[in-house]
Amino acid sequence: MTRVSMKVDGVEYEDDVEPRTLLVHHLREQLGKVGTVVGCDTSNCGACTVLMSDPEGRQQGVKSCSVLAVQADGREITTIEGLSGPDRTLHPVQRAFHEAHGLQCGFCTPGMIMAAVDLLQENADPTEDEIREGLEGNLCRCTGYQNIVRAVQEASAEIRQGAQAEPAPPSPRAGEAQTPDDGLPREHVPDETIPQPVP
Amino acid sequence: MIPPSFDYAAPTTVDEAVSTLRDAGEDAKVIAGGQSLLPLLRMRFAAPSTLVDLGGVAELRGVREDGDAIVIGAMVTHADVLRDPLVNAHLPLLAQATSTVADRQVRHRGTFAGSLAHADPAGDLPAVALVLGASMEIAGPGGRRVVPASEFFVDYLESVVAPDEVLVAVRVPKQGAWQGRYEKFNRVAQGWALVGVAALVKRENGTVTAARVGLTNMGSTPLRATAAEEALAGAGDAEAIGAAAARAAEGTRPSDDMLASADYRRHLAGVLTKRAVASLV
């Protein structure tokens, strides 16, 4: 076991880790930061992207499945869980992904958002091509790239106008929605599509 | 997957790194950024007994000017290379080629020296180091030695760095009057180069007076396209450049695999050489 200390989402942690522990597993299993997901496990998909400080203290996007926890000793890390402000206020990139519908199944979203934050802190006003190239390390297997690019453009404009984090919109409760997932009203759903128990 | 177990050492000096490697035996492995090694560990294609992490060795960081060369420390990442003013001023080919390596996240962790030591024939930077005439400074139990890029790469994933040695810095001569361009072809954004071409030319009044052409993934090591280089000298128009570039694959034995046939790779070598050189004249 090797002792490591790192600051994650503003909190100092000190833990003993096995040297082979990947940073993403340390974040999820030891620190409970399950907002960061493991996608492909081959360094391709970028779903596990977090920001990690380099020796000069610059926060940069890294794939946390391709960093050992011991390599993050003494570093500062920001995960998707540390991006929002107090009281569930959304970071402008999170808000833009919500408003521009920059996700479908949502699995790539934590990594996409962190990669977009990383890109925008280096280039606050990227062109569409620069956004697509900047997110080259992140895959969306729903292929929802159009709205992801749109979300990054909206976030870029907001950040340049000095936008700050603002409160998250309340999520509708099941009881308030017409149907549990707010889908089609019952009268528009053909009977044959409704599953029936086998007699 | 989770990597196999290994012992971990975090030396703070090169001497300490070398003595740790010597004591740990030949199954020990050096880790810098880990962007090639960690995927191999996770797939369990590699099972080192000890990992010697160079991340804490301060003397391996930084880029400095040394006369007519730029010296790049072993822990300098691709992102460091891209933002470095010395590299951008004196080694624009290296900066341009580095910008095509993998993706932002990988460039934040992966190192220039690491990608040379890894010696993957599909890696972009070995061919660039070769045409730039780089030399590698290697530290071992017997002291330090310097190996030119032309003798550094031995075979597929194999360089002259011994198990108890550490590549500490890469010395790259300034480009000076050489104009450079790296062209690679791959089918998907994250794919390895099926073939890559690093071209350097000197020109006068629109005529190429000298050329160096390095090839990525046209054999088990990066190669110089010597036939094309000789034919390019004196080429004055697009037709002459095209005819010279068509000889880029001469003498090479590229692999025939599921990604591309050997014939297709030979074709790409010519096309990419023409494209790279044409962009420079």
- A170 SS3 class: coil
Which has more pLDDT, A89 or B29?
A: B29
Indicate the residue among A47, A81, A115 that finishes a domain.
A81
The CATH number of the domain holding residue A35 is 3.10.20.30
Question: What is the extent of the structural domain holding A29?
Answer: 2-81
Angstrom distances, CA of residue A16 to CA of A9, A19, A89, A108, B134: 19, 9, 33, 30, 41
Going across the sheet that includes B223-224, the strands are B179-185, B195-204, B207-216, B223-224
CB A39 within 8 A of CB A115: no
d(CA B71, CA B60): 11
Q: Is residue A77 within 8 Å of residue A27, measured between CB atoms? A: yes
Closest Cβ–Cβ partner in A19, A22, A62 for B108 = A62
- Residue B60: predicted pLDDT: 98
Question: What is the C-alpha to C-alpha distance for residues B157 and B221, in angstroms, rounded to an integer?
Answer: 8
Of chain B, the percentage scoring pLDDT greater than 90 comes to: 96
B171 shares a domain with B198: no
pLDDT tens per residue, chain A (199 residues)? 999 999 999 999 999 999 999 999 999 999 999 999 999 978 899 999 999 999 999 999 999 999 999 999 999 999 999 998 777 789 999 999 999 999 999 999 999 999 999 999 999 999 999 999 999 999 999 999 999 999 999 999 999 988 666 666 665 444 444 444 556 677 777 777 777 777 6
- Looking from the CA of A162 toward its CB, the CA atoms found within 13 Å total 0
Which of B104, B109, B120 to mutate: most A Cβ within 10 Å?
A: B104
CA B250, CA B246: separation in Å to the nearest integer?
A: 9
CB contact under 8 A, A134 and B104: yes
Within-domain flag for A94 = yes
| Residue A139 φ/ψ, nearest 5 degrees | -105, 140
Does residue B52 share a domain with residue B139?
yes
Query: Do B103 and A55 lie within an 8 Å CB cutoff?
Result: no
Q: Are residues B150 and B109 in the same domain?
A: yes
**A25 contacts B2? CB cut-off 8 A:** yes
- B66 and B82 co-located in one domain: yes
**The domain containing residue B153 runs over which residues?**
1-176
Q: B120, B147, B176: which is the final residue of a domain?
A: B176
Per CB-CB distance under 8 Å, the chain A contacts of B31 are 68, 71
Domain termination residue (choose one: A81, A105, A131): A81
Query: Which residues from chain B sit within 8 angstroms of residue A73, using beta carbons?
Result: 10
pLDDT at B150 over 50: yes
Overall domain count for chain A: 2
**Model confidence, pTM:** 0.91
In a domain, A96, yes or no: yes
ipTM reported for the complex, 2 dp: 0.94
What is the CATH number for B165?
3.30.465.10
Chain A residues inside the 8 Å CB shell of B38: 22, 43, 65-68
- Is the pLDDT reported for residue B224 higher than 50? yes
Q: Is B281 exposed, middle or buried (0-12, 13-18, 19+ CB in 10 A)?
A: middle
Tell me the mean pLDDT in the region B234-240. Answer: 93
Which one of A71, A108, A133 would you mutate to disrupt binding with B, by most B Cβ within 10 Å of its Cβ? A71
Give me the residue from B108, B109, B189 closest to A136, CB to CB: B189
Structure confidence at residue A174 (pLDDT) = 44
Which residue type, as a one-letter code, is found at position B241?
I
Q: Can you give the pLDDT at residue A180?
A: 47
Kindly report, residue by residue over B88-105, the tens digit of the pLDDT: 999 999 999 999 999 999
Written as six digits, the tokens of B191 are 């794919």
Looking at CA atoms only, how far is residue B104 from chain A in angstroms? 7
Answer yes or no: do A28 and A59 share one domain. Answer: yes
Q: How far is CA B71 from the centre of its chain?
A: 15
Which amino acid appears at position B246 of this protein? Answer: A
Comparing A195 with B117, the larger pLDDT belongs to B117
Q: What's the distance, CA B230 to chain centroid?
A: 23
- Residue A117 confidence (pLDDT): 98
Q: Is A199 a member of any domain?
A: no
Q: How many CB pairs under 8 A join A and B?
A: 91
Please tell me the number of Cα atoms within 13 Å of A15 on its side-chain side. 19
CATH number at residue B219: 3.30.390.50
> How many domains, in total, are found in chain B?
2
Mutation target for A interface from B6, B36, B53, B105: give the one with most A CBs within 10 A.
Answer: B105
Which residue of chain B has the CA closest to A115? B105
Q: What would the pLDDT profile of B47-72 be if each residue is shown by its tens digit?
A: 999 999 999 999 999 999 999 999 99
Whether B215 and B248 have beta carbons less than 8 Å apart is answered as: yes
**Among B34, B105, B106, beta carbon nearest to A68:** B34
In terms of domains, do A45 and A96 share one?
no
Answer yes or no: is A144 within a domain.
yes
Chain B hits for A66, Cβ within 8 Å: 34-35, 38-39, 105-106, 109
